[in-house]
């Protein structure tokens, strides 16, 4: 399957594995963080949860109408997001749940399997 070389794979796919600095999905592997959005999976250049801001989440904003819940995996530890970012997402109608990356990937798979309007911003973990 061609596709992720350009940093974007259209379609909805479960996260098959995570760890070792990346993710496996759609019979592919990717080193680094990812955004899992309704339109597809894209490479995400965020490695530190303190760098999650409006600019980092612009792709989420672009698809906000198709997202009811954004799961943010902040790595091995839970790192709260700033209150103004929470308000910004809420104003777009997007709920937010912050957790460890592994929990976020597993929760994404469950909710996507239920055909929920869910997206995930997942920081890669070692």
CA distance 9 to 83: 31
| Nearest CA among 63, 1, 7, 70 for reference residue 34 | 7
Over the chain, what is the mean pLDDT?
95
Identify the pLDDT of residue 1.
39
What are 26-55's pLDDT values in tens digits?
999 999 999 999 999 999 999 999 999 999
Q: Which domain holds residue 29?
A: 4-122
Identify the pLDDT of residue 29.
92
**CATH number of the domain within which 64 lies:** 3.40.1230.10
CA atoms within 13 A on the CB side of 68: 6
For the chain, residues with pLDDT lower than 70 are: 1-5
Tally of structural domains, the chain:
1
């Amino acid at each position: 399957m061609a596709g992720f070389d350009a940093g974007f794979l259209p379609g909805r796919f479960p996260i098959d594995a995570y760890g070792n600095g990346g993710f496996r999905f759609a019979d592919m592997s990717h080193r680094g963080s990812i955004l899992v959005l309704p339109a597809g999976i894209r490479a995400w250049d965020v490695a530190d949860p303190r760098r999650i801001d409006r600019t980092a989440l612009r792709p989420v904003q672009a698809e906000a109408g198709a997202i009811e819940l954004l799961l943010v995996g902040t790595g091995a530890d839970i790192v709260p997001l700033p209150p103004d970012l929470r308000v910004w997402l809420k104003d777009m109608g997007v709920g937010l749940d912050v957790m460890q990356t592994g929990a976020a990937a597993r929760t994404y798979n469950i909710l996507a399997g239920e055909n929920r309007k869910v997206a995930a911003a997942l920081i890669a973990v070692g």
